[in-house]
Chains A and B, each alone.
Chain A
């Protein structure tokens, strides 16, 4: 049943259009989204870990808007990449791990937001130190995103036969 759906998706005109036309733009968008999503979360994690003291953590909450733009960009481009090879991706443990790592990264982001960034009064000072628990969240967040990047790269080799430089 699910196999029929996956086959229908990867044999659809949408999938063909991506493979023949949109692919370079889609993976480029996936990289730009990555830079926004992971790059900005890295800065928030670093601040929670004690770098850039002087910047009040609740002030950095505004960056989350751009993080979500990056995430949306990658969710859309990610679904498009999935459509090219739906069946292989669906049964790939690399693909499933990547989704789990992204979920883990997002949960860490949400928990850092609720425990630190949203506590406008408690952490109003630029020099405020984040609680130990938030620092653990920040470390897990960094590890989750780095792992997601590695798994994503390997997935590209595994699924699309991407040999990197030779397309």
Chain B
């Protein structure tokens, strides 16, 4: 039984031009996915280096210049938000009820809150963390959480394809 008519908003999103476009070409979806992986490498690469440095790797490098790469991490995030929205519009019914997708969104949200905690809570000490200087334990805990969350985001994304997408039957 097709229950998609029970979800008029999702049907409407699906009918919009971007979704229509992705469905109508064979190359759009794999291209968007490739870009999604490129954005992921940029975002997680930059955030990951900052986290690894805070945890003590490449200790001779001061944190501030690495922190200045964050605008580029935002470029990666923007690219992935765009491509992610295109996936969703291509077929909202694949994602809206998918548990892996929901976990992925939650992990991204938590990673954002965690990053905000880093910025407001410990980053203010940044200039003390020149090369060779130990970062605080709180900063290390936040960075370890950050790495774990971004890996969880990757897992959530990959498991969308292996998770039931069916809408709950009324």
Name A's B-contacting residues (CB within 8 A). 24, 27-28, 31-32, 34-36, 38-43, 46, 51-56, 59-63, 65-66, 126, 145-146, 149-150, 152-154, 157, 162, 164-167
Contact = CB atoms under 8 A, between A and B. Distances in A.
Contacts of A34: 37, 40-41
Nearest to A52: B65
A165 B158 contact: no
Contacts of B160: 165
B45 A52 contact: no
22 contacts: A24-B159, A24-B162, A28-B155, A31-B157, A35-B40, A39-B48, A42-B41, A43-B66, A43-B69, A54-B62, A63-B52, A65-B57, A66-B57, A145-B41, A149-B38, A149-B41, A153-B30, A154-B30, A164-B161, A165-B161, A165-B165, A166-B161
Contacts of B44: 35, 39
A27 B160 CA distance: 12
B30 A42 contact: no
**Nearest 4 CB-CB pairs, A to B?**
A39-B45, A54-B65, A167-B161, A59-B61
B94 interface: yes
A8 to B, nearest CB: 28
Nearest to B63: A55
Contacts, number: 127
Contact of B45 (A24, A40, A150): A40
Contacts of A150: 31, 34
A45 to B, nearest CB: 10
Nearest to A24: B162
A23 B18 CA distance: 31
Given A32-B154, A42-B45, A55-B62, A63 B57 contact: yes
A145 B37 CA distance: 11
Interface of B: 29-31, 33-34, 37-38, 40-42, 44-46, 48-49, 52, 57-62, 64-66, 68-69, 72, 87, 90-91, 94-95, 131, 150-151, 154-155, 157-162, 165
Contacts of B61: 55-56, 59-60, 126
Contacts of A66: 52, 57
Contact of A60 (B58, B155, B161): B58
A145 B42 CA distance: 11
Contacts of B38: 146, 149
A166 B37 CA distance: 18
Contact of A40 (B48, B60, B62): B48
